[in-house]
Amino acid sequence: MPKKSVSAKDKKEEKKTKKQVTEKPDESPIKKTPKSKIEKEEKKKSSETSKKTVKKSVKKKEKKVKKKSTVEEISERKKEIVLPKKIEESKERREIRSDINKILKDKSLSLYIIDDIITRVTEDKKLKTKLKDIISKTLAEYEKNFIDPAEACGIIGAQSIGEPGTQMTMRTFHYAGVAEINVTLGLPRLIEIVDARSIPSTPMMNIYLLDEYKLSADLAKDVANQIEITNLNDVADIEADLTNLTILIKPDTKTMKRKGSKIDDLLESIKKIKKIDAKIEKKKIKITLDEPSYKKLLNVNESLKDLKVKGIDGIKRIIIRKEPEEGYVIYSEGSNLDKVLEIEGVDPYRTTTNDIQAVGRVLGIEAARNIIIQEAYNTLMEQGLNVDKRHIMLVSDVMTSNGTIKAIGRHGVSGEKSSVLSRAAFEITVNHLLDASRRGELDTLGGVAENIIVGQPVNLGTGAVELVMKRSKKKGK
């Protein structure tokens, strides 16, 4: 099972530390470090034509720019961000790694396989002598299991995610980790992810804390108080005095203390309301209106009730739990990623939200891609449905391939297809045809739907290759 942390953050951290290779032994395939990507690209270079490389570099540039800007933003906002401890690879592991690389020479293996082998070899020293044997066998099997060219991996992926949909539940259940927070799960959640909704129906966050905060209950509580939204109504009684046209606010000392706020803070936030005057009188706050009017008083009274005195917009409820091997973790109902990351004590590298668009906004497209994979995978796994991660990766990559998060459907991926016939065959048929004729669009019949429509073999699988038997002249006879 993958860890909860978002790999995008790992990536970013690595960007900063100039390709410091951090190795985690149990890295799952999805948690790819940029190094592996670079490696892959290098491998590709030889086989790629010049045209493709041009395209690729454009894409790469875009991504880089995007990432840099978000990194800068965050580091500007919080200069003193503490980098998580770099996991220095032990000398032994490094030695084995270099050995393996020597054996591999120009061939390549996926990083996580190499890591796996290293872990095994460190566990059992006897294997060191047989490293060559292991690598050659692994390579052989790796190559055997390689995907075939022209494989219709898109359709297979879509089927693999769609087919178990019929077996999923419709209801929302309690979240497996925290009983108190309801989270949309099952089919509705999967549809939500695929739709790339701007706000999930049940937003929530897992807020991880930095070292000293996660160990102390008080400090964790402190952070939680800064995050959870507190309304004036929650910490004080509001009384409207209709005869004098004043409002009296009596803070409840007990809850005030629990929430860690002071009367001055209340005054501060009350003063943000326009056209009123507020003063502290005997541990109470007295509010008078600039222009006394009965109607206005009631209006002010109403707005006071919902007045935010503390916390972050959108975070409705907070639950602090002590997790084994982690310490205190804050779970929140409601989500506001960028604001929460600014809070001191919050670990910005591991804190996650289920709001995909917010992740895309704050952390960039690569992070969004990873959160889509993670959310979709967890939704499926939670239902006990086993789906290979590669399928989900493909869906996620299709959604994020041009730098923005596109929905699967007529407003996103399907609506932006290059083929007119394919779009017309999906939805809003007539408009697509009319627009196409106005624009003089050209359908080059490269895809599946178009070729079926015109009655030609589809350019996938066995249809992608053309084999013509050469009729040689009859020999002899």
Partner 1 sequence: MERARSVTKKIGKIEFSLLSPNEIRKMSATKVITADTYDDDGFPIAMGLMDPRLGVIEPGLRCKTCGQRVGKDKCPGHFGHIDLAMPVIHVGLIKTIRNCLRSTCRECGHLLLTDKQREEYFKELKRYNQEGRNTTYLLKQVIKDCVKAEKCTRCGREVGKIELDKPTSLRENGKKLTPSEVREWLEKIPDEALPLLDINKKSARPEWMILTVLPVPSVAVRPSVTLQSGERSEDDLTHKLVDVIRINQRLQENRDAGAPQLIVEDLWELLQYHITTYLDNQTSGIPPARHRSGRPLKTLAQRLKGKEGRFRSNLSGKRVNFSARTVISPDPNLSINELGVPIRMAEELTVPVKVTSHNIDWCKQMIKQKYLGSDDHAEYIPGVNYVVRETDGMRRRIKVTEKNAEDVAEKLEIGSSIERQLMNGDIALFNRQPSLHRMSMMAHRVKVVPDKTFRFNLCVCPPYNADFDGDEMNLHLIQGEEAKAEAEILMKVQENILSPRFGGAIIGGIHDHISGCFLLTHKDRKIPLDDASHILAAINYDGKNFKTFTEDGKKYISGKDVFSTLLPKSLNLEYKAKACFNCDTCQAPNCPHNAYVIVKNGVLKQGIIDENGIGAFKGKILDRIIRDHGMDAGREFIDNFTKLAIASITLFGFTTSIDDEDIPDEAKKQIAEGIGKALKKISGLVKAYEAGELESLPGRSLEETLEMEIMKVTGKTRDMAGEIAGSHLGMDNSAVMMAKSGARGSMLNLSQMSGCVGQQAVRGERISRGYQYRTLPHFKRGDLGASAKGFVASCYKSGLSPTEYFFHSMGGREGLVDTAVRTSRSGYMQRRLINALEDVKVENDGTVRHAGGQIIQFIYGEDGIDPTRSMGGNAVDIDRIISDVKEGV
Which residues, 373 to 432, sit near partner 1 by CB under 8 A?
A: 386-391, 393-395, 397-398, 401-402, 408-409, 412-414, 416-422, 424-426, 429-431
260 touches partner 1 by CB under 8 A? no
Of positions 4, 24, 35, 40, contacts partner 1 by CB under 8 A: 40
Q: What part of residues 234-253 is at the interface with partner 1 (CB under 8 A)?
A: none
Of positions 4, 24, 35, 37, contacts partner 1 by CB under 8 A: 37
466 touches partner 1 by CB under 8 A? no
- By rule CB under 8 A, what string of x and - marks binding of each residue 311-350 to partner 1? -----xxxx-------------x-----------------
> Judged by CB, which is closer to partner 1: 365, or 395?
395
Q: Considering the complex, what minimum distance in angstroms separates the CB of residue 50 from partner 1?
A: 13
Please answer whether residues 262 and 256 qualify as being in contact, where contact means their C-beta atoms are separated by less than 8 angstroms. yes
CA 329 vs CA 177, 220, 318, 346, 362: distances in Å: 11, 8, 10, 10, 21
Phi, psi of 205 (to 5 degrees): -130, 150
Q: Considering the complex, what minimum distance in angstroms separates the CB of residue 68 from partner 1?
A: 20
Q: What part of residues 136-195 is at the interface with partner 1 (CB under 8 A)?
A: 137-138, 141-142, 144-166, 168-173, 179-180, 187-188, 190-191, 194
Distance separating alpha carbons of residues 172 and 154, to the nearest angstrom? 29
Q: Considering the complex, what minimum distance in angstroms separates the CB of residue 56 from partner 1?
A: 6
> Judged by CB, which is closer to partner 1: 194, or 276?
194
Q: What is the size of the binding site for partner 1 (CB under 8 A)? A: 130
> Judged by CB, which is closer to partner 1: 87, or 150?
150
CA 436 vs CA 26, 72, 130, 409, 440: distances in Å: 51, 42, 63, 19, 6
29 touches partner 1 by CB under 8 A? yes
Residues 91-104 as b/e (b if ≥16 CB within 10 A, e otherwise) read eebeebbebbeebe
Q: What contacts 414, CB < 8 A, 6 or more positions away?
A: 408, 423, 426, 427
Residue 346 DSSP symbol: B
Q: State whether the Cα torsion 207-211-216-222 is positive or negative.
A: negative
134 touches partner 1 by CB under 8 A? yes
Q: What part of residues 200-229 is at the interface with partner 1 (CB under 8 A)?
A: none
- For the beta carbon of residue 349, count every other beta carbon within 10 angstroms: 19
Stretch that binds partner 1, among 36-44, 71-79, 265-273, 349-357 (CB under 8 A): 36-44
Phi, psi of 286 (to 5 degrees): -110, 130
Distance separating alpha carbons of residues 321 and 308, to the nearest angstrom? 25
Q: Considering the complex, what minimum distance in angstroms separates the CB of residue 275 from partner 1?
A: 34
